[in-house]
Structure 1
Amino acid sequence: MHDVRINSTIEPPEPSTTLARAVNIGCSGWYYWHWKGQFYPEGAERSEWFSIYQDRFDTVELNAPFYNWPTVATIRTWLRQAREDFVYTVKVSELITHIKRFDGTADLIKDFGFIADTLGPRMGCLLFQLPPSAKFDPVLLDTILGQLEPRHRNVVEFRHKSWWNDEVFAAFESAGAIFCSTSGPRLPDQLVKTADDIYIRFHGVEQWYRHDYSQRELQAWAERIHQSGAKRVWAYFNNDRNAYAIKNAKMLDGILTGSN
């Protein structure tokens, strides 16, 4: 990917001019075997799953790139399979966030950013998720923010509660980065806004990935979203067990848009 980026003639798009939709709600991934018979019809071929998914949603958070660096052919497939107004958010490789932990990863981040440039108007956010073992460290904070490319919508998700503090929020605001608000066990139940866009990941309340959010729980988040004054909302549901993500994403979308 590095050589492809260096030799590319693609003109990087500006995020603020490539997307008009104010509310972007979807699921963290779409390729789940256990959704067959729950969301995907029993008789549907795997090749049909994405088409079925995008009949219901306008965006998806791609988790696969976290484990396997996408090839150019893969990115072209993403472009080919999606309708023109469909938007991808891409989870950044664990090589950057978990293995190297942002130690000397500026070029790797640029290489990954080439994915965003290639997707153009179908690109949403780049999601950088750190491991729970990464506790607040002002040096690490500066290291992370110093390597992000401001022309992308950069979202950073922490999994340790020590990062929820005013020093971090102020640094994110100065860098124009998006602090990921996270609904997850033992994490602050708080909507954080550090940029014009807000980003929320729903993992579960008491258990990871298997919580079925109630109307009341999602109504509370909707009220926070409205009160935040954000220009654009990104919300992805990662509670994929029993296809709760599908159900809850549609529920929150309905609450926010008034279609419920």
Structure 2
Amino acid sequence: MPLFVGTSGWQYDDWRGVLYPPKTPRRLWLEEYATRFATVENNNAFYRLPPAETFADWRARTPEGFVMAVKASRYLTHLKRLHDPQEPVERLLAAATGLGPRLGPILLQLPPTLRADTLLLDTCLSCFPAGTRVAVEPRHASWWTPAVHAVLSRHAAALCWADRDSRPVTPLWRTTGWGYLRFHAGRAQPTPRYGQRALASWTARVAEAWPDEADVYVYFNNDLGGAAVLDAAAFAGAAVRAGRTVIGP
């Protein structure tokens, strides 16, 4: 692809003993995380956008080549509902540039009650400078139209492929030369793990859609009990066995 495989967030108490040694202090969790994965999706920014200094600190604490995707603030996506996007987008990018070369894609996760509006989406995507990688995760079925596909393609924005209960909940559109995939909850035990068959199916879908040289970002959001950690490692292993390139320590 190459594949960048990681988790949505890294600060979960129940990951002690799964990813983090029990005595590792929380202030060193990001450094410990980066020894295992080459990317993370920062979902803290969704709830409260940190200042640029915090992003710069995350840059300093991670190795060269590490990639941090950033989930856009809910102020833009859930409160403003994509209306008047210029100022929220500028504020987001001004802070996230503290990551420097560590900055990966920006994720716009839309509210499940937000119905399709191609003008709103087009206006919002126009606020991002050319070359900024933006992934969009709509969650209302009204978005699955050729007009929406055309807007995403025109802006070289990725439709975020999403899985819930080990099946796709979005169309598998390829709207640009790179991909973005999120796993929310599997059906294997213990809940919310993913089984080997589900992960192998997704590995095949990604391999069919993108050549090995295309960047594809994969994040597991099923954090409970460390399921995301285990499933991300399992997915990376399945991809390697299938002959795909996975970026990682």
1:211 to 192, 199, 204: 192
The yes-or-no answer on 1:193 pairing with 2:174 is yes
Q: CA RMSD in A?
A: 2.2
Q: Secondary structure at the match of 1:222?
A: helix
The yes-or-no answer on 1:117 pairing with 2:97 is yes
The offset of 1:92, in angstroms, is 0.9
1:132 to 112, 116, 123: 112
1:183 to 163, 166, 170: 163
* Cα distance, 1:187–1:226 mapped onto 2, change above 3 Å: closer
Q: Secondary structure at the match of 2:192?
A: coil
Structure 2 unmatched ranges of 5 or more = 244-249
Give the letter aligned to residue 255 of structure 1.
A
CA contact (8 A) 1:28 1:60 kept: yes
Residue 97 of structure 1 corresponds to 77
Distance 2:88 2:170 in 1: 32
Residue 246 of structure 2 corresponds to none
Q: TM-score, normalised by structure 2?
A: 0.88
CA contact (8 A) 1:161 1:187 kept: no
* Cα distance, 1:55–1:46 mapped onto 2, change above 3 Å: same
Matched residues, percent identical?
35
Distance 1:128 1:199 in 2: 11
Give the letter aligned to residue 132 of structure 1.
P
Distance 2:86 2:7 in 1: 29
Give the letter aligned to residue 185 of structure 2.
G
The yes-or-no answer on 1:243 pairing with 2:244 is no
* Cα distance, 1:217–1:190 mapped onto 2, change above 3 Å: farther
Distance 2:36 2:151 in 1: 37
The offset of 1:193, in angstroms, is 1.2
CA contact (8 A) 1:183 1:203 kept: yes
The offset of 1:229, in angstroms, is 2.2
The count of aligned residue pairs is 238
CA contact (8 A) 1:181 1:200 kept: yes
The offset of 1:154, in angstroms, is 0.6
Higher relative contact order (CA 8 A, sep 6+): 2
- The aligned runs of 1:16-27 (5 Å cut-off) are 22-27=2-7
1:202 to 177, 183, 186: 183
Residue 77 of structure 1 corresponds to 57
The offset of 1:190, in angstroms, is 4.2
Structure 1 unmatched ranges of 5 or more = 1-20
Q: TM-score, normalised by structure 1?
A: 0.84
Distance 1:141 1:61 in 2: 22
CA contact (8 A) 1:25 1:58 kept: yes
Distance 1:141 1:104 in 2: 11
The yes-or-no answer on 1:66 pairing with 2:46 is yes
Q: Secondary structure at the match of 1:56?
A: coil
The offset of 1:146, in angstroms, is 3.2
